[in-house]
Amino acid sequence: MTLRSRSMFWRIFRQLLRASRGRLTVALIALSSGAAVSSALLNINLDAEQKLTHEFRTLGANVVVAPPSSGSDAALADAAIMDRIVGPSATQIVAAAPYLYVAANAGTQPVILAGTWFDQVAKMNSWWNVDGSWVTSRDDRSHCLVGQAAARQFGLAPGSQIDLRAGERNVSLTVSGIITAGGAEDSQIFTSLDVAQNLAGLPGRVSLVQLSVSGTPSEIEAFTGHLAGTLPGLEVRPVRQLAAAEGSILARISGLIFWTIMLILVLTTLGVLASMAALAMERSRDVGLMKALGGPVERIMHLFLAEAAALGIVGGTIGFTIGVMLARWIGGRVFGVAISPRLAVFPVTIALAVAVALTGALPLRLLGRVRPAEILRGE
């Protein structure tokens, strides 16, 4: 295409846009609306996966490291494994809490004592309800947390003293808070790991390690496989219930959003088709005149395709901007969280809008069949 031909092409292109502003505006509104909804749903889908994964990390451990089950109470691991688990490369680990479970007595009644790192447990189980205050330091040897069932059994409240004994060893602790977890934890007493090890006479030993690992279910599976390779002789297993629930919810959300976007795009295409069909009828005379003057059919079709692509780009850009605001509104009203806009959605929105515009412009291809003689005769 020569420079003169190119200049003529764009001059005619601009004239077409000016002459059909009404029909093109309707098509642009349809494209912008479809692009806005698609952009909002894509932003929600991408951000929902990250936020849902983050929310699941507050529901407790999703990976457990423990000695192989042998049916013996002496199946313990060396506490030094924490240095191998929580290394500089373990960027996926949100929290890691070692546990040593000890059978102790409070007076004459038995109770399970769980020695752990309080700071890590707090990060891993932020949903626990605590009446009183949390023990913030993992080295605190004078305070403990008591499950609500154990507190009721022993008549304890925040600030109470409790004496624990295991064999010939004993310790006196102050109850810092009463926890309600809704599980076995409600019947246990939580102390620092050092207190449990000293009371049981098992320095440097742990029963298991609970990990909260970020990532999708497949990423968590890959992490557990890698960790198992670095910890020979220990079992590294994901908590299947959490992994399965997370994977199921993410898959359902993604599926729902995908089919909703497909439906929106189909409806948008139908709207553009209607506008372009009316536009094709209006332009039949102009096309006949261009063909009579020697304009090649390919060049004429390029004009209409360029017009549709320009509509798609403009509609996609407007739709993405509106979609970002729509995603934030939906996130705040429906999910109660702020949805962060993703720039990666912008080119996807533009591509979808251009594809819809080109598909909707199919009626304009019929203009290639216009016969100049019939148009010039006024038929």
Pair 91, 114 in one domain: yes
Full DSSP string of 246-270: HHHHHHHHHHHHHHHHHHHHHHHHH
How many CB atoms lie under 10 A from the CB of residue 363? Answer: 18
Tokens 């030993």 belong to: 205
Report the Cα–Cα distance between both ends of the chain, in Å, rounded.
33
Separation between Cα atoms, residue 298 and residue 99, nearest integer Å: 75
Separation between Cα atoms, residue 193 and residue 170, nearest integer Å: 15
Count Cβ atoms within 10 A of the Cβ of residue 153 and give its class: 0-12 exposed, 13-18 middle, 19 or more buried.
middle
- Does residue 243 lie in a domain region? no
Pair 223, 257 in one domain: no
Pair 47, 77 in one domain: no
Pair 233, 85 in one domain: yes
Separation between Cα atoms, residue 102 and residue 203, nearest integer Å: 12
Pair 192, 306 in one domain: no
Pair 134, 232 in one domain: yes
pTM: 0.59
Checking DSSP bridges between strand 188-192 and strand 143-147, what pairing results, if any?
antiparallel
Pair 114, 189 in one domain: yes
**Residue 340 CB-half CA count within 13 A:** 9
**What does the pLDDT look like over 242-254, one tens digit per residue?**
555 666 666 777 7
- Does residue 195 lie in a domain region? yes
CA distances from 352 to 89, 114, 327, 365 (A): 39, 55, 18, 20
Q: How many domains does the chain have?
A: 2
Phi-psi bin for 71: left (phi > 0), alpha (psi -120 to 50), beta?
left
Pair 150, 108 in one domain: yes
Which structure tokens are listed for 135?
């023990």
C-beta separation of 24 from 279 below 8 A: yes
Question: What are the mean pLDDT values of the chain's consecutive 10-residue runs (379 residues total)?
Answer: 53 60 76 88 75 59 80 71 76 86 90 93 86 89 93 92 91 94 90 93 91 77 84 81 61 79 85 72 60 59 75 88 86 69 86 84 60 51
Separation between Cα atoms, residue 245 and residue 248, nearest integer Å: 5
DSSP-derived letter for residue 339 is P
User: What single-letter amino acid sits at 98?
Assistant: P
Full DSSP string of 13-76: HHHHHHHTHHHHHHHHHHHHHHHHHHHHHHHHHHHHHHHHHHHHHTT--SEEEEPPP-S-TT--
Pair 85, 143 in one domain: yes
Angle at alpha carbon of residue 34, lines to 28 and 37, rounded to 5°:
135
- Does residue 107 lie in a domain region? yes
Task: Give the range of the structural domain holding residue 228, as residue numbers without chain letter.
Answer: 63-238
Pair 126, 212 in one domain: yes
**What does the pLDDT look like over 270-317, one tens digit per residue?**
887 777 766 666 665 665 555 555 555 566 667 777 777 888 888 889
Q: Which of 181, 207, 238 delimits the end of a domain?
A: 238
Pair 38, 67 in one domain: no
Beta strands in the chain (DSSP E): 63-66, 77-78, 93-106, 109-116, 129-132, 143-147, 161-166, 169-180, 188-192, 205-206, 208-213, 235-238
- Does residue 82 lie in a domain region? yes
